[in-house]
Amino acid sequence: MKDYATTGFFLLISLWLSAQAKHDYIWLFGTKTQPEYSETGGSVLDFNPGSGNIYSLDMPFTLNETNASICDKDGTLLFYTNGCEIVNRNHLIMQNGYNINSGEVHNINCDNYGYEVLGGAMILPLPNDSNNYYLFHLTEAINGNATSLNYSTVDMSKDNGLGKVMVKNQVLVEDVFHKGDLMAVRHANNTDWWVIQPKKSSNTYYKLLFTANGVDSITTQQIGISTLLSGSGQAVFSPDGSYFARYNGIDHVLLFHFDRATGELSDFQQIFVDDPLYIGGVAFSPNGRFLYVSTHTNLFQFDMEAPDIQQSKTFIDTWDGYAVYGLSATTFNRMLLAPDCKIYIAVYGGTPYFHVIQHPDMPGSACDFEQRAIELPKFNRFSMPNFPNYRLGTPYSVCDSNLVISAIPSLPSDFQEPIIYPNPAAGFATLRFPLSDKTRHLTITNMSGQIVQQANLPNMGTEHIIHLQGMPSGIYFIRLAIDGEGIWTGKLAVR
């Protein structure tokens, strides 16, 4: 009996450890694809292990200041939003996914630019539920103020696993909110969540307790100074959830201790950066020791273990003056700790670049800050997804330094061999092929020789998205026949 009990215990542990928390493993950026402009379209950073983690895709709309996405626990993309619509993993608007944040601002902005509430959306899995997700989102009024905190829900068991929006635009709180600071952290019970949203020009903080029942309670707390700036900057929790930090160029850094059991903020400190510019971001190192602040042109590091955090301020680097086409300056904006243990810094303005802090756990210049370390295949309008630390309270560390991000190699204009990426893939893969006016016929077969997909690809195109939903894990054979030009074959591994 003891042997069976021991076996059962280790089986449970194995199942528990296999419950990955890769909800933030795919980041999406870009503008609505316009074939006449090569810079347009979507870019993907895919942190799942495998080749080709940076690649392009046809983007149905622009991801602007509002950008949120979610993967399942294994890192497969489920859906994303630009604050206007909710889009499934096939990059099609989800059932009932139209008109998120409906209203006058939606009608003005959403056809061209996407919603323009900085960091104004975040997606959380419903506790103890593998199918249902809540999208928390801020609605903007025509005067530019964020005037309500809302939620919409998605059930991923609907539409053959592509999901359906079940509840939409439900108002939680009506007030005038600070834009840029919507953030969440897991409760001390490691199941529920706290969602925090500051009020504009105030020292008031709204705190929502999100449980398996939905939003259980909404409370407020007054602490610290009344803020002066209302619409830019960033908020973040430390990886262990013990600190909450906000930054903008007028109020500088507002730093608090946070109690994950009670949701209370305490021990307020104002940390001055001495660089009075509105635009910027804030992020903690993976070990929580260092706090990074990116202003418009400078990067600073603060030591959270120093007796005086203010006095620990260390200058890391300044913008090197590079501008794309001599017009779009690659200055600094919002920051995000990535699954690969690096901190990525979005570039303000339309460029294809991200700056990277390569070793953020290291002090001073040893953190190895590299400007334009990542080049995307398409331009990004300074957008950055809004993620909490999904791995807090799980067996997994906040990040994995063994992950390696590599781009699909640039292809010469006269390349002849098609390529498929990412490979292995989950959710979708992209097939790139030479430009030609010939008809192409695509056939995908499994290991038994059964045809699982067929398609005639349009003339003059160079990319085709292969949707993998419903395809079991395994090896598949790709056959691309081009009229008068022969046949290309390849393999695709589906995770």
What does the pLDDT look like over 120-139, one tens digit per residue?
A: 999 999 999 999 999 999 99
Whether residue 83 is contained in a domain is answered as yes
Q: How many CB atoms lie within 10 A of CB 470?
A: 8
Phi-psi region of 229 (alpha: psi -120 to 50; beta: other; left: phi over 0): beta
Ranking 1-10, 46-55, 106-115, 275-284 by mean pLDDT, the lowest is: 1-10
Within-domain flag for 391? no
Residues 197 and 76 in one domain: yes
Q: What is the pLDDT of residue 8?
A: 43
Please say which residue of 381, 411, 435 terminates a domain. 381
| Whether residues 377 and 430 fall in one domain | no
Of the chain, the end-to-end C-alpha distance in Å amounts to 37
Residues 361 and 453 in one domain: no
Lowest mean pLDDT among 98-107, 295-304, 453-462: 453-462
Q: What pLDDT does 390 receive?
A: 98
Q: Report residue 188's pLDDT band, with 50, 70 and 90 as the boundaries.
A: very high
Task: Give strand ranges (E) for 259-310.
Answer: 265-271, 281-284, 290-294, 298-303
Same domain, 198 and 84: yes
Instruction: Between 277 and 336, name the one with better pLDDT.
Output: 336
- Boundary of a domain, candidates 358, 381, 404: 381
Same domain for 362 and 446? no
Residue type, 311: Q
pTM equals: 0.82
CA distance 263 to 289: 22
Alpha carbon distance 286, 401 (integer Å): 10
Do 369 and 443 fall into the same domain?
Answer: no
* DSSP 8-state code for residue 225: P
334 neighbors 281 (Cβ within 8 angstroms): yes
User: Which segments of 272-311 are extended strands (E)?
Assistant: 281-284, 290-294, 298-303
Mean pLDDT of 401-427: 71
- Convert the pLDDT of each residue in 300-355 to its tens digit: 999 999 999 999 999 999 999 999 887 889 999 999 999 999 999 999 878 899 99
Q: What pLDDT, in 10s, does the model give residues 379-399?
A: 998 899 999 999 999 999 999
Q: Alpha helix locations (H) across 143-239? A: none
Q: Is 387 left (phi over 0), alpha (psi -120 to 50) or beta?
A: beta
CA–CA separation, 116 and 65 (whole Å): 5
The percent of residues above 70 in pLDDT, for the chain, comes to 90
| Helix, strand, coil percent values for the chain (each to nearest 5) | 5, 45, 50
Q: Is the pLDDT of residue 412 over 50?
A: no
Is the pLDDT reported for residue 16 higher than 80?
Answer: no
Residue 405 lies in a domain: no
Cα–Cα separations (whole angstroms), residue 425 to 94, 338, 467: 22, 20, 10
pLDDT tens column, 452-469: 998 887 665 677 888 888
Q: Report the distance separating Cα 329 and Cα 364, nearest Å.
A: 25
Interstrand relation of 234-237 and 243-248 (parallel, antiparallel or unpaired)? antiparallel
**Maximum mean pLDDT: which of 273-287, 301-315, 395-409:** 301-315
Question: Does one domain contain both 89 and 13?
Answer: yes
What pLDDT, on the 0 to 100 scale, is given for residue 202? Answer: 94
Instruction: Answer yes or no: do 209 and 331 share one domain.
Output: yes
Average pLDDT over residues 216-238: 91
Mean per-residue pLDDT of the chain: 88
**Domain presence at residue 387:** no
Whether the per-residue pLDDT at 158 is higher than 70: the answer is yes
Rounded mean pLDDT of 241-263? 96
Q: The domain that contains 423 carries what CATH number?
A: 2.60.40.3080
Question: What is the C-alpha separation between 465 and 472, in angstroms, rounded?
Answer: 18
Mark whether 262 and 364 lie in a shared domain: yes
The answer to whether 420 touches 464, Cβ cutoff 8 Å, is: no
| 344-370 residue pLDDT tens | 999 987 889 999 999 999 999 999 999
- Burial class for 436, CB neighbours closer than 10 Å (0-12, 13-18, 19+): middle
> Would residue 111 count as lying in a domain?
yes
Q: What is the pLDDT of residue 459?
A: 60
Spatial CA neighbour of 383 closest among 116, 152, 23? 116
Which of 220, 208, 151 has its CA nearest to residue 183? 208
Q: Tokens standing for 92?
A: 């099609």
CA distance 67 to 80: 8
Which strands make up the sheet holding 419-421, listed edge to edge?
A: 419-421, 428-432, 463-467
Instruction: Count the neighbouring beta carbons within 10 Å of the beta carbon of residue 364.
Output: 11
- Let me know whether 120 and 178 are in one domain: yes
Task: Please say whether the beta carbons of 110 and 123 come within 8 A.
Answer: no
Segment 72-83 shows an average pLDDT of 94
User: Do 336 and 432 belong to one domain?
Assistant: no
> Which pLDDT value is given to residue 231?
66
Say how many residues make up the chain.
495
What proportion of the chain, given as a percentage, has pLDDT over 90? 59
- List Cα–Cα distances, 63 to 44, 162, 183, 237, 423, in angstroms: 12, 20, 19, 24, 25
The mean pLDDT value for 76-85 works out to 95
What CA–CA distance (Å, rounded) separates 253 from 244? Answer: 10
Domain of 202: which CATH number?
Answer: 2.130.10.10
Tally of structural domains, the chain = 2
Last residue of a domain, one of 381, 401, 429: 381
**Residue 240 to residues 39, 340, 391, Cα–Cα distance (Å):** 39, 17, 10
Give the C-alpha separation, 345 to 337, whole Å.
9
Domain membership flag for residue 388:
no
Mean pLDDT of 256-277: 93
Spell out where 331-397 has E strands: 331-337, 343-348, 350-357, 369-381
Lowest mean pLDDT among 108-117, 367-376, 471-480: 108-117
Q: Which residues contact 196 (CB under 8 A, 6 or more apart)?
A: 181, 182, 183, 184, 185, 205, 206, 207, 208, 235, 244
Is the pLDDT at 438 greater than 80? The verdict is no
Read off the pLDDT of residues 18-56 as tens digits, 9 standing for 90 and up. 357 999 999 999 888 887 777 888 899 999 887 568 888
Q: What is the mean pLDDT of residues 92-114?
A: 89
Residue 469 in contact with residue 162, Cβ under 8 Å?
yes
495 has a pLDDT exceeding 90: no
Is residue 355 in a domain? Answer: yes
Of residues 489 and 103, the one with the higher pLDDT is 103
**Region 196-220: what's the mean pLDDT?**
97
Q: Alpha-carbon distance 120 to 260, whole Å?
A: 23
Confidence of residue 276 (pLDDT cuts 50, 70, 90): low
**pLDDT(3) > 80:** no
For residue 396, tell me if it sits in a domain: no
The residue segments making up the domain with residue 102 are 2-381
Residue 10 has pLDDT above 50, yes or no: no
Are residues 131 and 239 located together in one domain of the fold? yes
